[in-house]
Amino acid sequence: MTDFVLDEQQAAAEAWFRSLRDRICAAFEAIEDDAGEDEAHAVPLLPNAPAAPGRFVRTAWDRANPDGSPGGGGVMGVMKGRVFEKVGVNISTVHGEFSPEFAKNMNGAEEDPRFFATGISLVAHMANPHVPAVHMNTRFLNTTRRWFGGGADLNPALPRDDDTAAFKAELKVACDAHDPEHWERFSKWCDEYFWVPHRNRHRGVGGIFYDHLEGDFDSNFAFTRDVGEAFLRAFPAIVRARMGMPWSEDERDVLLRYRGVYAEFNLVHDRGTLFGLKTGGNIDAILMSLPPEARWA
């Protein structure tokens, strides 16, 4: 795969993930700009919060295959701001061969270990305990088969029914526009996937999760785009509604302890973390999902 050239479908998916990244980053930076611009928009800040609005710092990385040939790469984008204590919005496009052991667990890779993957991955940890953390990713994977996967889920330390309902409503609109069975199936899949067995609890309050969405490329790609659009409608609106709420040290403690559960899931159970580590991804980009601060005791 030394001279890897993207085909039409791969190029279209990669371009979409890049464009979604740009619009999400712009929306998040606009929130940072608006926070504290006057008394009406004042937000309670952490003691170590930056004085200026946060901005994404983008770091490109390259991946090499085990034989030394180019294996793609990506761009890690991280912002540490006043509202977003830490948010990462990463894109990557990688290709190569799975190890024989890992290929056994990958759809369509048993006979031919070659793969291609492109996608976007986002995790936001918020300074205010009343603003939920969030995760979103969508991806396009190719082995001897081609499929889309991804989803989005809300992760509040202090859950609010209205925020949960608003977030899920946008995702349901995206699902219902494509298949009447998508919402029930993918929301249930989300609840099952983001279960933390050793804590006997869910990581968050749900959303959708889907994988191995095969078949017609155009329809599956359209659904994946609509998931991204739903996230972009839902989450910034929740942030703006909650970021000015006052919070106490006790509420901050609840947030930090919740982040411990979030980190445990990502390090022990998350398949995306495992995929990145098993395919030679950038370690900092893979572990971007970890919070800047957490507490266990």
Phi/psi for 181 (5° steps) reads: -95, -10
CA angle 150–154–158, rounded 5-degree value: 165
Tokens of 199: 């804590």
Q: Which of 110, 284, 114, 113 is nearest to 276 (CA)?
A: 284
Contact 99, 114 (CB under 8 A): no
Contact 85, 256 (CB under 8 A): no
189, with CB counted inside 10 A (0-12, 13-18, 19+), is: middle
Residue 28: count other Cβ atoms within 10 Å of its Cβ.
25
Torsion of CA 47, 157, 41, 29, to 10 degrees: 80
**Which of the residues are catalytic?**
135
Tokens of 260: 């411990």
